[in-house]
Chains A and B, each alone.
Chain A
Amino acid sequence: MNDIESLLRDVLAERAGDVEPDPDLARRARDAARRPAGGDGRVRWGLVALTTAAAVTAVVVAVHGLTDGSATPVPAAPTSSLPSTSGRVRLVTPTAVPAPSQISLTAGGPTASPGHPAGCTTFATASVSPAEPPPTLTTDGAVTTPPLASPSASGDGRPGDPYAWIALSPPPSVIAVMSDLDQVLDGVRFAGWSVDRTGRSVTVHVVEGPSAAAAEAVARSCARADAPIHLQRVARSRDQLTGLQQGLGASLPASLAGMVDPSLTSLDVERNRLVVPLDGTLTAAMKRDLWARYGDAVEVWLAGPRTLAEPAPAWANA
């Protein structure tokens, strides 16, 4: 009679032994990760930091005029939709439920200050190959919808999902743009960025508000010839969603607190909401309570096979 732990050790060691070394891994990883100018695969962070510091110093006065307004919590308008049959339960707008005016989104955090209000023009030239043509933009900066031209209809490779784009091996210029955006975007005027299903363009999610136009200009400056940037306006900033995420444990109703592990929540940048996995079964009352508290800032994902068979609650179709 074997103890399961020793059997487990044996099985894991045996299965691990089946894995052949991948001699191509280093090259593929390097190709996928390398910036256009990264000769030996090492990022010149020192150069980036120096350029960044100079840019921040030059434009620090302008920062104050760009951060107003958008930090105010702005819950999105409720949308009506039926629960999906793919295992996802989407909170929908019940007519008998109060509007989500009680939503509490706490702004703040270390990313609240824009580090590069002037955008990539303050430093991008240091990392762009001289051979590259000037950046162009494929959108006019208005509210746009990210292109979803993927032939995939499986539902699991959504835009913004790193697994989706990595499987498509985005070109180095797109990876470079993503890296630039990480430095340029702040948590107040932006919700983040996502890569489309083709891996060939990036969508920047800009918070609607007085600073939106300036924020879009910042994002637009990061586009490159073969790495276009699309713009999409959203209701909530990254800091707001992060604040909601951090305070979720305290703000959840008691009936749901035991069903949620706050450490498993995640931000869905593309859909501008916090994804909260739940272990258990939601009653209609719980769903109403969730909607009343968070509106569509929170999306609940139910784990467990019973999700598929769960009928749409009556209040969802009212």
Chain B
Amino acid sequence: MRGEDVTFDELVRERGAAWLRLAYLLTGDRHLAEDLLQTALVQVYRRWSAVERADQPDAYVRRVLVNTVISWRRRRSWWERPTASGALPDTARAPGDAVPAGVGDVADGLAARDALWQLLKRLPPRGRAVLVLRFYEDLDDPTIAALLGVAPGTVRATASRALATLRAELAVTGSGGVR
């Protein structure tokens, strides 16, 4: 669907749900995701002539959205540092707690998933964005690089650092055998 074939309203109606899911994964907060998506859409509307010329208006909007989220998170992260500790929010069970027989694997899996989600929210904005775009949107590194406006090597390095951080933090929390 080329931009010139679709109006702003049609594009939002057709792709809005997907953008909202992406925004949610990037922010970890539903209401914030809605607000930032709306912020991005206002920018898109004001540059609609550029969107109309784009071969892939959906990709254009995603780029605006991702950069809106990164910009917001970056600014906020430097304004507010509420805690210096590495404490995680509550997980399904504390490391070392006894687990009823037969449910250990399930509990481990749930704990690992929950811990991973919480850790993902604490990653730096660009690291989180790279992981979401790679593992949820299934974009390749050059595409992610173009979307973020960075070099492909930066994407690879950012992903590598982010994954290493997740592995290390998960190992510390003892939330399942993740390598």
Select B78's contact among A14, A32, A301, beta carbons within 8 Å: A301
A312 within 8 A of B: no
A277 within 8 A of B: yes
Chain B residues with CB under 8 Å of A16's CB are 21-22, 24-25, 136
A155 within 8 A of B: yes
CA gap between A1 and B105 in the complex, in Å: 10
Give min CB distance, B74 to chain A, whole Å: 7
Give min CB distance, A16 to chain B, whole Å: 4
Count contacts on A: residues with CB < 8 A to the other chain. 59
Chain A residues with CB under 8 Å of B150's CB are 263
Pairwise interchain contact B24-A7, C-beta atoms closer than 8 A: no
Pairwise interchain contact A45-B74, C-beta atoms closer than 8 A: no
Pairwise interchain contact A40-B78, C-beta atoms closer than 8 A: no
Chain A residues with CB under 8 Å of B71's CB are 266
CA gap between A7 and B39 in the complex, in Å: 31
A166/B39 contact (C-beta < 8 A), A7-B116, A16-B21 known = yes
Main secondary structure, interface of A, reads: helix
Pairwise interchain contact B136-A305, C-beta atoms closer than 8 A: no
Pairwise interchain contact A86-B79, C-beta atoms closer than 8 A: yes
A5 within 8 A of B: yes
A21/B36 contact (C-beta < 8 A), A266-B71, A277-B74 known = no
A308/B84 contact (C-beta < 8 A), A25-B37, A88-B79, A162-B39 known = yes
Pairwise interchain contact A8-B13, C-beta atoms closer than 8 A: no
Interface residues as binary, A273-313 with B (CB distance below 8 Å gives 1, 0 otherwise): 00001000000000000000000000001111111110000
A62 within 8 A of B: no
A13 within 8 A of B: yes
Contact residue range for chain B? Answer: 35 or more
Pairwise interchain contact B179-A22, C-beta atoms closer than 8 A: no
Pairwise interchain contact B24-A19, C-beta atoms closer than 8 A: yes
Pairwise interchain contact A26-B9, C-beta atoms closer than 8 A: yes
Pairwise interchain contact A41-B9, C-beta atoms closer than 8 A: yes
Chain B residues with CB under 8 Å of A19's CB are 17, 20-21, 24, 30, 33
Interface residues as binary, B101-143 with A (CB distance below 8 Å gives 1, 0 otherwise): 0000000010011001100100010000001100110000000
CA gap between A13 and B116 in the complex, in Å: 13
Chain B residues with CB under 8 Å of A309's CB are 84
Give min CB distance, B49 to chain A, whole Å: 4
Indicate the member of B12, B78, B170, B178 with the most A CB atoms within 10 Å: B78
Pairwise interchain contact B81-A305, C-beta atoms closer than 8 A: yes
Interface residues as binary, A10-42 with B (CB distance below 8 Å gives 1, 0 otherwise): 111111101101100110111011100000111
A101 within 8 A of B: no
A161 within 8 A of B: yes
8 Å CB interface, B16-38 against A: 16-17, 20-22, 24-25, 30, 33-38
Give min CB distance, A293 to chain B, whole Å: 21
Chain B residues with CB under 8 Å of A301's CB are 78
Pairwise interchain contact B120-A4, C-beta atoms closer than 8 A: no
B7 within 8 A of A: yes
Chain A residues with CB under 8 Å of B24's CB are 15-16, 18-19
B48 within 8 A of A: yes
Chain A minimum-CB-distance residue to B126: A264
Pairwise interchain contact B84-A2, C-beta atoms closer than 8 A: no
8 Å CB interface, A186-233 against B: none
CA gap between A167 and B33 in the complex, in Å: 12
Pairwise interchain contact B79-A21, C-beta atoms closer than 8 A: no
21 A-B interface contacts by CB (under 8 A): A7-B113, A8-B116, A8-B135, A9-B136, A11-B117, A12-B136, A14-B113, A15-B24, A21-B16, A22-B34, A25-B20, A26-B12, A26-B16, A29-B37, A32-B42, A33-B42, A42-B8, A42-B48, A156-B80, A162-B43, A302-B78
Q: A9-B135, A156-B75 are in contact. List 20 more A-B contacts (CB 8 A).
A: A5-B135, A9-B136, A10-B113, A11-B116, A13-B136, A16-B21, A16-B24, A19-B20, A25-B12, A26-B12, A28-B38, A34-B45, A40-B7, A40-B9, A43-B49, A163-B35, A163-B36, A264-B74, A277-B78, A304-B81
Interface on B for A, CB 8 Å cutoff? 7-9, 12-13, 16-17, 20-22, 24-25, 30, 33-39, 41-46, 48-49, 68, 71-72, 74-81, 83-84, 109, 112-113, 116-117, 120, 124, 131-132, 135-136, 149-150, 163, 166-167, 170, 176-179
